[in-house]
Structure 1
Amino acid sequence: MSLKQPFIRILAVLSVCVLVGAALGLTASMVMARQEYRATAELIGAAYNMAPSSEDTFMRALKAASTEHYASGDRILQQYNYSPGTFRSKNTYTMVGVGMLLMFIPGAAAYVLWFYRDKKRRSRLQGLTAYLEGINHGRDTLLMRREDEFSRLEDELYKTVTELRQTKENAIRERKSLADNLADISHQLKTPITSMSLMTELLSDTRMGEDAKYVDNLSRQLRRLETLVSSLLKLSRLDAGTLELKREPVNVYAMFLRAAEPLEDTLRQKHLQLVMASEEEVFFTGDLAWTAEALMNLIKNCSEHTPEGGRITLVYSQNPLYTEIIVEDTGEGFRKEELPHLFKRFYKGKNASKDSVGIGLAIAQSIIRQQNGSIRADNAPGGGARFTVKFYF
């Protein structure tokens, strides 16, 4: 906005004030003149009715009246108990009514002008807000350009949205390219890993003593490498947004069973008891397979930190806002300094197992968040670790 525009606005406001003031003054002058004429006519008419022969005297007195006659006239009026209040009471309602009418007209005009401008301004702001909301929800919303007081804001919004959209598209392309590269690398690694796994199986049948121990260690490291490659592939697909998660009703108890099935041997070896609540059928909207994958990582984490003979509990509940799933164990729980880092990739706590790669909780968090959910880790009141998952409607 140039410096000339505010000056023009101030000049316009002053001009309107002068015109309105002049109109009000002229109108007030006409009203006062009318009232004065009416009072003079009533006084002369009453005197004429009392003394018709004195008409000429009254008219000469009216023409000769001036400020120097005020003192004698005031003395006579006060002698007969007349005061300014006597005359004011006769004109009060009339003048109040006229004053209200005079102020109502410009007031109403100002209100109509303000209402129109406010409505136009609110409509403009609603349009800009709707544009931003559409962009935030991924809709291709058009911005209707116009020249007004919001034009500069509109231009800046358009530039910002355009730049953010381009940045987002570039980031998506880069993430997809990274995911594709990781997928290619993962597939390339799977072939030699599979070959080495087969060879270690063959060697384990022919080796004895110290050699068998080395072969067993090699097999364990190959399994760990295979798990890491598979986890990285999953995480890269989640990061790139190329993983299409289903949106369908998921039975929580059925998802519990699916998540626990791959861990049956691990739980049995440590004599861990898995307790799953099944009081009622509860559903949420999501992807059964991938949510079971996330929950399996939580159960696996609990199993690694729960001593033999311990217990892992899965419970769930539902309210009008979300479906809640709680996973608890009877282990030592989390250290206070570990809580802020638990869902970071490749983070391993002090009590983590040697074979852990520190990526399972990161995968679980990514899967849950992409389904309009949240996950939180803390320590249960009775001791042990606790994961709280919420899927919002």
Structure 2
Amino acid sequence: MKNTELKSYMLILAILLFLYTGYQVITHQLFYNQLKADSITTWGEITARLVEQNPNHEAEIMKVLTSHAADSSIYQEKGREIFRQYGLDEDLESELFPLLNDHIAGHNQSVLWGLFILGFMLFGTGYWHYKMIFHKIRQLTSAAKKIIEGDYSVVINENKEGELAKLAAAFRSMKDIIRKSMQDLLEEKKFLGQMLQDISHQLKTPLSTISIYNEMMLNESLPRQQHVQLLQNNEVQISRMNVLIQNLLKVAKIDARAISFDKERADLVETVEEVVDRLASLISKHQLSIEWDTSKDVVVAHDKMWMQEAVLNLLKNAIEHSKPGGKVMIQVKDTPIYTELVIQDFGEGIESQELPHIFDRFYKASSSKKHDSVGIGLALAKAIIEAHNALIKVESEKNTYTKFTITFIKF
């Protein structure tokens, strides 16, 4: 029986039944002992009187009393006949036998008291048992009301086994789920508000610039060359806003877990090489060289498209902050425990106090020379890498180097 509450209640009922049975056995035994004692006293008196009048009949009288007489049936019938002459037979009311009547009345009273006590104990046990159950149910009801009102500090303790314990455990799980859901909703609300604030702030500058350029172009006295220049400037600002919006959408989807990464075991070096090919023109523009330190066939489970997005942002950042004519080093290290991808430039570097913030959205180092950056690329790269259950860290020294390390744990 798995229901502990029912099991305990049935055990209590069994104990009460056992006690009542014991009480009845003792009561009947006392009744029989008293009846036997009174019978001995009464028949002893009769025997004494008979023996006093007929001393020779003592042995015969004792045989009759112990049912050892050979002709008992004859004298039993004669005795019944004599009793009938005095009105004594089986149909006579027991009240005419005071001694016997007192014993029967006392025995009946004991039985009734036993039944009364048993009923009282059953009623008391049932009342106590169900009061305990309904008390716990009222606790759960009260706790549920508090949770509905937003109070998650309520504690429901049920250390015993049974259905109520299961209910309390389920209730605690429900409370934790609701609390976490509400916290997630509050965090999402806070994140949405911050995101909207950041987007508004980031779009404000290019929109203001476009608005100013448009007002200038409305001036008909401007030469065509300036009109073309203003249109080109607007195109740059529109492109900047487009990149910002696209990256923000990607970050938001990753944060909302709305993207299902299709992770397959593929060559990580090949994935990085394709990114380098896509950035060939930018590398050439900055007159940089790519220094490789890796071997082929370094297989890692990853979503190739999204991992290339992350590597693209890291490599682009390294290129744009390198000194003209410098180099960018790419290393891939494979061990039985982890695979490590390193992208290192030897350019501007980052101040030590700014390192903890470079993965924050819209953060730009105060010393950065790239004024058109919106500060979303590194945040996107970090979100993609962490979605692959990998780690990313950055090391840097001002005017010396910046090193990004991605670690894929194999276990």
Q: TM-score, normalised by structure 1?
A: 0.51
Structure 2 Cα separation of the partners of residues 372 and 157 of structure 1 = 32
Aligned twin of 1:297: 313
**Gap runs ≥5 in structure 1:** 1-144
Q: How far apart, CA to CA, are the structure 2 residues paired with 1:265 and 1:372?
A: 32
Instruction: Note the alpha carbon deviations across 1:240-288, whole angstroms, 9 max, x for none.
Output: 0001101210211111122223322211111111223342310111111
The CA deviation at 1:355 is 1.5
Kept in 1, the 8 Å contact 2:263–2:304? The answer is no
Correspondence for 2:249: 233
Taking the aligned partners of 2:178 and 2:294, their CA distance within structure 1 comes to 48
Structure 2: 5+ residue runs without aligned partners? 1-156, 218-222
Partner of 1:253: 269
1:357 lines up with 2:374 in the alignment? yes
Question: Aligned partners of 2:356, 2:169: CA distance in 1, in Å?
Answer: 36
2:386 — aligned with what? 369
Q: Which residue of 1 aligns with 2:347?
A: 331
Aligned match of 1:162: 174
* Aligned AA (1:235): V
Partner of 1:217: 233
Cα distance change, pair 372–147 in 1 and its aligned pair in 2 (3 A): same
Residues 267 and 299, structure 2, Cα contact 8 Å, conserved in 1: yes
Separation of aligned partners in 1, 2:354 and 2:165: 45
Shift of 1:380: 6.8
* Residue in structure 1 matched with residue 328 of structure 2 by the alignment: 312
The residue identity in structure 2 corresponding to 1:358 is G
- 1:174-224 superposed Cα distances (whole Å, 9 cap, x missing partner): 959x99xx9xxx9xx9xxx9xx9xxx9xx9xxx742222211211110110
Which of 400, 405, 410 aligns to 1:383? It is 400
- The letter of the residue matching 2:260 is E
Q: Is 1:304–1:352's contact at 8 Å kept on the other side of the alignment?
A: no
Pair 1:345 & 2:357 matched: no
Does 2:260 match 1:244?
A: yes
Q: Confirm or deny: 8 A CA contact 1:252 1:283 kept in the other structure.
A: yes
Check whether the contact 1:256–1:276 (CA below 8 A) recurs between aligned residues.
no
Aligned to 2:82: none
Cα distance per residue 1:52-110 (max 9 Å; x no partner): xxxxxxxxxxxxxxxxxxxxxxxxxxxxxxxxxxxxxxxxxxxxxxxxxxxxxxxxxxx
Report the AA paired with residue 305 of structure 1.
H
Q: Tell me if the contact between 1:318 and 1:324 (Cα under 8 Å) persists in the aligned partners.
A: yes
What is the CA-CA distance between 1:382 and the residue it aligns to?
10
Determine if contact 2:358/2:378 at 8 Å carries over to the other structure: yes
Deviation at 1:237, TM superposition (A): 0.5
Q: Give the Cα–Cα distance (whole angstroms) in 1 for the partners of residues 398 and 334 of structure 2.
A: 21
Deviant stretches of 4+, over 4 Å: 149-160, 167-170, 172-176
Query: Is the Cα contact below 8 Å between 1:231 and 1:359 reproduced in 2?
Result: yes
CA distance in 1, matches of 2:355, 2:186: 33
What do you get for the CA RMSD once the two structures are aligned? 3.9
Matches of 1:156 and 1:329 in 2, distance apart? 58
What amino acid is the match of 1:311?
K
Amino acid at match of 1:359: I
* TM-score for both structures, normalised by structure 2: 0.49
Percentage identity across paired residues of the two chains: 28
Per-residue CA distance 1:330-371 (angstroms, 9 max, x = gap): 113211111110100000012151111001111111111111
| 1:322 match | 338
Within 5 Å, which residues of 2 pair with 1:259-270?
259-270=275-286
C-alpha change, 1:336 and 1:382, in structure 2 (3 Å) is closer
1:163 aligned partner, one-letter code: K
CA distance in 1, matches of 2:163, 2:324: 69
Could you tell me how far apart the structure 2 residues matched to 1:154 and 1:336 are? 53
TM-fit CA distance, 1:153: 10
Matching residue's letter, 1:340: P
Determine if contact 2:352/2:397 at 8 Å carries over to the other structure: no
Structure (1 or 2) with the larger CA radius of gyration: 2
- Distance in 2 (CA, whole Å) between partners of 1:375 and 1:277 is 19
Find the aligned partners of 2:310 and 2:347 in 1 and give their Cα distance: 20
| CA separation of 1:325 and 1:154: change in aligned 2, threshold 3 A | farther
With over 3 angstroms needed to count, the CA separation of the structure-2 counterparts of 1:269 and 1:173, relative to structure 1, is same
What is the CA-CA distance between 1:152 and the residue it aligns to? 11
1:283 aligns to what?
299
1:148 is aligned to: 160
Letter in 1 for 2:177: R
Which residue matches 2:44?
Answer: none
CA 1:161–1:376: 2 relative to 1, 3 Å: farther
Q: How does 1:160-199 map to 2 (within 5 A)?
A: 160-169=172-181, 171=184
